[in-house]
């Protein structure tokens, strides 16, 4: 059959992906082996472009069909998708939502095999991969872009790389432009991977055979060259300016509502990091009344506990004993009579059985520890209520609580030009 590649951006229902590296899942639930991965990163100013060049191997004696799962983090968006067709790598075409539907249906009727990349709920991408020829590799390339977040005067770039299988070939190339300072690789997992200057900029390169790249790469770039910038193109403009807000501690709550999402998609949450954040917050509060509600498509537990440093383990064990199953309904609480000084919502924001409805006029802090999340929903819930969104994938729990620096936290408010509001930075 003939093949056609389309780059289709539309929202559909999905099978939720766990927090893993890119995979190609077959119809029988098996997976293709990723044999080669080349990662190329270009950082210019406060923007980064990352390209995954992947080879998947079909060890079977028959042609297969699969689905590529590619979860992205907060603020990342795909800008390129390519797949080999008849031995040649072909780039996809960006198609508007409605036009994509028409194009897909018409190509299928012509017995053409379309390669489709779809943006699904949250910031997750999937693509139909066909044909996967027997005893051959399937070549797939995906590029995504992002604006780098800042922390303690550093711009931070993170490459998750949670790949536990052994790759035949692995290489990474990171180039930094427009900055005179040598970047730092935090907790560098490789002795021979470091940045050095050349005529074209600053770069770090690594190549390995028979290797499992299971440790993240975190690059810190001193944020001194980009203090203020304005760019324009036709009817569009982009403005960047560093702000220095004043901070003040908020009043300690005496009663906290703790909403714990126990849906199946949270089975792969970073529970350890979430518990550290929660424990340190309770230590700071010293003693607090906690109404604990675990939920998925229904409310499973609703208990009120009086927690302090000495009996923290009671709440900790209650959370650890949570069973994860079912979908997510965030509208379960709209008819409940709840009186709390603030709400902590631990969720990935992937609600497939009802959206969130405001039930209390107090601040809501949303906390998430999975890449596969609906970051925009979690941000909206938090900021509309005067709270903050704490993304534990981007920041460690210590920065979620740190009120001595300009980082995101649940302990303080920021003030800009005399107006007080909570914000995410």
- Judge whether 344 and 365 are in contact, CB under 8 Å: yes
Tell me: do 298 and 350 sit in the same domain: yes
The per-residue pLDDT for range 159-180, each reduced to its tens digit, is 888 788 899 999 999 999 878 8
190 in Cβ contact with 171 (< 8 Å): no
Does 231 map to a domain? no
Range 110-114 contact pairs with CB under 8 angstroms and sequence separation of 24 or more: 110/2, 111/1, 111/2, 112/1, 112/2, 112/3, 112/4, 113/1, 113/2, 113/3, 113/4, 114/3, 114/4, 114/5, 114/6
- pLDDT tens string 242-285: 666 666 777 899 999 999 999 998 988 999 999 999 999 999 99
- From 207, 222, 237, give the residue that closes a domain: 222
pLDDT at 7 > cutoff 60: no
Same domain assignment for residues 216 and 272: no
Whether residues 362 and 214 fall in one domain: no
Mean predicted confidence (pLDDT) in 322-350: 88
* Tokens encoding 207: 């190549």
Cβ neighbours of residue 116 under 8 Å, at least 6 residues apart? 6, 8, 104, 127, 128
Q: Please give the angle made by the CA atoms of 222, 227 and 228, to the nearest 5 degrees.
A: 150
Residue 81 forms part of a structural domain: yes
Pairwise pLDDT comparison (57 vs 113), residue with the higher score: 57
**Any idea which of 44-53, 147-156, 414-423 has the lowest mean pLDDT?**
414-423
The lowest-confidence range among 88-97, 260-269, 402-411 is: 402-411
Rounded (5°) CA angle 379-381-385: 110
Q: Is residue 228 in a domain?
A: no
Tokens of 198: 């050349």
Q: 169 with 22, same domain?
A: yes
Domain extent, residue 166, equals: 2-222
* Domains: count for the chain: 2
Whole-angstrom distance, CA of residue 41 vs CA of residue 144: 10
CATH at 41: 2.60.40.1730
Burial class, 357, CB count within 10 angstroms (exposed 0-12 / middle 13-18 / buried 19+): exposed
Q: What is the pLDDT of residue 123?
A: 72
CA 415 vs CA 141, 190, 244, 343, 406: distances in Å: 44, 41, 9, 22, 11
Q: Are residues 125 and 197 in the same domain?
A: yes
Same domain membership, residue 204 and residue 79: yes
pLDDT per position as a tens digit, 222-236: 876 556 777 777 787
Residue 349: which pLDDT band, with cuts at 50, 70 and 90?
A: confident
pLDDT at 303: 95
Q: DSSP label at 398?
A: H
- DSSP state for residue 197 in the 8-state scheme: E
User: What secondary structure, in 3-state letters, does 364-392 show?
Assistant: EEEEECCCCCCHHHHHHHHHHHCCCEEEC
Among the ranges given (112-126, 189-203, 243-257, 393-407), the one the predictor scored with the smallest mean pLDDT: 393-407
pTM of the model: 0.70
State the residue for tokens 């210019």: 44
Instruction: Return mean pLDDT, the chain.
Output: 81
pLDDT of residue 202: 93
pLDDT score, position 195: 95
Task: Identify whether residues 196 and 252 lie together within a single domain.
Answer: no
Residue 227 maps to a domain: no
- For residue 305, being part of any structural domain is answered with yes
C-beta of residue 382 within 8 angstroms of C-beta of residue 373: no
Highest mean pLDDT, choosing among 231-245, 308-322, 388-402: 308-322
Asked if pLDDT for residue 31 goes beyond 50, the answer is yes
Q: Are residues 166 and 58 in the same domain?
A: yes
Q: Are strands 124-132 and 112-119 parallel, antiparallel or unpaired?
A: antiparallel
In a domain, 118, yes or no: yes
**Quick one: 368 and 262 in the same domain?**
yes
The sign of the torsion formed by the CA atoms of 13, 380, 96, 56 equals negative
Query: pLDDT value at position 399?
Result: 73
* CATH number, residue 364: 3.40.50
Measure the CA–CA gap between 219 and 156, rounded to whole angstroms. 6
- Distance between CA atoms of 47 and 33, rounded to whole angstroms? 32
């Amino acid at each position: 059959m003939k093949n056609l590649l389309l780059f289709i951006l539309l929202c559909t229902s999905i099978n939720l992906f766990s927090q893993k590296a890119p995979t190609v899942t077959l119809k029988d639930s098996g997976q293709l082996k990723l044999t080669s991965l080349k990662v190329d990163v270009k950082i210019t100013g406060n923007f980064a472009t990352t390209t995954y060049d992947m080879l998947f191997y079909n060890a079977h004696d028959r042609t297969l069909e699969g689905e590529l799962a590619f979860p992205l983090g907060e603020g990342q968006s795909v800008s390129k998708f390519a797949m080999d067709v008849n031995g040649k790598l072909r780039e996809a075409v960006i198609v508007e939502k409605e036009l994509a539907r028409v194009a897909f249906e018409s190509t299928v009727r012509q017995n053409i095999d379309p390669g489709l990349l779809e943006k699904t709920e949250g910031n997750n991408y999937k693509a139909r991969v066909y044909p996967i020829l027997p005893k051959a590799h399937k070549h797939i390339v995906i590029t995504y872009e992002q604006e780098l977040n800042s922390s303690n005067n550093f711009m931070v770039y993170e490459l998750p790389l949670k790949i536990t299988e052994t790759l035949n070939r692995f290489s990474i190339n990171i180039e930094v432009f427009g900055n005179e300072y040598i970047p730092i690789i935090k907790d560098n997992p490789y002795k021979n991977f470091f940045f050095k200057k050349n005529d074209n900029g600053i770069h770090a390169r690594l190549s390995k055979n028979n290797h499992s790249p299971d440790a993240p790469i975190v690059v810190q770039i001193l944020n001194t060259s980009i203090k203020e910038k304005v760019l324009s193109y036709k009817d569009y403009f982009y403005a960047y300016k560093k702000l220095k807000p004043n901070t003040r501690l908020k009043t300690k709550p005496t009663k906290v509502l703790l909403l714990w999402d126990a849906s199946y998609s949270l089975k792969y949450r970073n529970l350890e990091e979430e518990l550290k954040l929660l424990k340190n917050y309770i230590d700071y509060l010293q003693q607090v009344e906690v109404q604990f509600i675990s939920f998925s498509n229904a409310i499973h537990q609703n208990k009120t506990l009086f927690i302090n440093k000495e009996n923290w383990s009671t709440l900790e064990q209650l959370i650890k004993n949570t069973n994860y199953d079912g979908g997510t309904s965030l509208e379960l609480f709209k008819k409940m009579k709840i009186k709390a000084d603030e709400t902590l919502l631990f969720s990935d924001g992937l609600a497939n059985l009802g959206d969130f409805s405001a039930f209390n006029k107090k601040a809501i802090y949303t906390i998430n520890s999975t890449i596969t999340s609906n970051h925009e929903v979690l941000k909206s819930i938090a900021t509309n209520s005067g709270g903050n969104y704490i993304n534990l994938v981007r920041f460690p729990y210590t920065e979620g609580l740190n009120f001595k620096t300009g980082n995101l936290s649940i302990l303080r408010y920021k003030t800009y030009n005399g107006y007080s509001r909570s914000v995410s930075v």
